[in-house]
Structure 1
Amino acid sequence: MNRTNFIRNHLYSDAGVFIRELLQRSAVNDQGGATMDAFKALFVDKIDKEAVISTRAIGLHDLPDGDLLIKVNYSSVNYKDALACKSDGNIVKSYPFIPGIDLAGTVVTSGTERFQAGDEVIVTGYGLGVSHYGGFSEYACVPSEWALKLPNHLSQKEAMLVGTAGFTAALSTLEIQENGVKPEDGPILVTGATGGVGSMAVSMLAKLGYEVVASTGKADMTEELLRLGAARVIARGELHSERTRALDKQRWAGAIDCVGGATLASLLPALQYGGVVAASGLTGGIELDTSVFPFILRGVRLIGIDSVMIPMARRENVWQRMADSFKPSLEESLYEEITLEQVKDYVPIILSGQSRGRVLVRL
């Protein structure tokens, strides 16, 4: 059902108050100059089997159903967003589409008692930017069940500097902690350490007192990683031997793997007894060529990290940690701030693996 029919069907229901207020305010300029019946959004369309990215003006009637209308102030560009802008990225199923799996903004109107107008909120995961119009839009309409209130000690800008990447890093770090790996047990390896998840994980682990070894293919980022808290930085090639052994020298108490593929396969045999790997990446490939020996002879645990469908109670807990004990370094050298129109220029950079840190979208 499109939003016009939604308005008609709910005009005299409890949600009608929400809808009528929304309609009354839709022609009023906000501080940013946009109006709710004429605002900017970035669309991906498919023309002759090619993805075409453009920024265009839309109105509320173009947004999908949802009981929470949000004025979006910040979003960010993630690897999944870059895939959504690719014709064969296998993220978007119907076109035209607004990507953006992260958003932070202010509630304009709410159809639920959980939120009031003026509340600052974060939305990540669920169907946002995948099956439901995402955060690359000056306004977003989403189910209220997807949103959480911005934690204390975290601004909207900081929330999007962290974003899904930081949330994934925090979930990974929490798994290392909750599975009993302590700072005194030995070094923690972080692969893909200059990416969004990797750089956040390096900072979080170091803040918690772990000895962090950062693996990267970008030698010129060594100083940045050391500033984030890495004790050592190693080249990506150091993880790969000429042949993968079933068991190798025990080097790592744990690992946060943001790469997958051959990198994940090479680090598993080098984990200490009882070591834990939190895996969230696939930029190095989706195949995993390994054996059962690390698992049955050393008690290694391989834990998959999903940031999309995490229950709200745990989601809120992790975001609160990111505002406090897990809060990573947010140095300006570790992110770029861009406009909505610039997103398309960053898509090929991210897809080619050349991105560094986070890309913040200011709406």
Structure 2
Amino acid sequence: MEGNGITGLQTLAAKPGSSLAWLLVWLFCLSSHAWGAGGAVEVRRLGLSRVAENTLITVVLDRAAAPRVSSREVSGKPQLVVDFPGARAGRLPSHLAGDEILVQQVLTETASPGGGVRIILDLFPEKPYTYWKQNRPGAGGQSLFILGLKPDSKVRPVQARVVPSAAPEPAPTAPPRGVEAPEPSAPGEDEGGYQEPKINVAPGSFAELRRLMPKAAPLLQGLEADGWVVSESNRYDRPGRRFSRDFILTNRKYPELVVKIAYLPANTPNTPNIDIIMLSTENHASEAATQYRGLRQWSFARIKQKYEDIGDFFDDALKPLRVKLREETKAITLRDAAVFQNFLKLASPNHPQVADQVMNHVRAKVSPRFEGVQFTVSENPLTILSLVDFLYLKVYYLDAFSGGGQ
């Protein structure tokens, strides 16, 4: 068999009329592949944290790089943009929650392989700030690019002032040609995470949810039995903190309802993990709902263009829509009453009266004189009914105490 075998190069040599052309094409493709694999910086991971007065965006790279940082305003919303042209994307989250001080949220965009990585910071309007940037060596030969933001009342909003970093940024370096960068490893505590125990459950599954939230197991089992499925799950990696998780559950039988789940592990010793499960009418898509969502995205500058006072905006624009939404979501809840009642019975099995209490609140006449109210219908577990706009039930569980960061 070995004597009869012909390699690819031997095949080319056996056809002198086309061998040279095919050999050149083959070598060109091989060299292009090697160049693409070794030449581009890899943006591996991303995290957001608060240290003293600074909001820090930490980007883990396979080697040092100097991205472009620019500020801009899009539809009245200030943004800070970090561009890594030509970079490859590693395990990057598409979304990170903000710090509620300067940053509303962090978004990542990636082009086709090797097309670049863009990190977008959506900032709070009317919050002036300065920013600085720095490169530092990371573990395992990696590099950390750190972008720091700090409130500064001396600068105008959006037009941020750049503070030079204390140390000069190293020039980007490339590894030896033909040597591929090592595969990214799981983040360690010094890179914004911790090593989760390896357990044989599929990520984003009900099995994982029950493992993370043992006290909520009966409710989770009931949701799964009723046909709810995990349509989305996210992991949020924060420097020096454990992984927080969130999940979104949907059900074809109830297109206007959604279940949102958050797992918030403890960050300090002797504090419990917090599990939150919410059944909401947020998927309601009427004309009033669409208009209300649009108004909620208005910036303060845009509101001031149309209304003399922020109170006028709430009274004249938001309040009438909230009344309409309360009426519409009330009808949805009464139509799907069995879903809400079963949710409450599984969440509070020792308090069967809670389901009746909630339905009595829902049936009450909607008053246009009030902005809406919230009711605490149970304290163990803490259960809240909100009738402000999109009706929802939210249940809080406190799980076993954790060592914090272990």
State the TM-score, normalizing by the size of structure 1. 0.23
Higher strand share: 2
Comparing both chains, which one has the higher relative contact order based on Cα–Cα distances under 8 Å and sequence gaps of 6 or more? Answer: 1
Higher Rg: 2
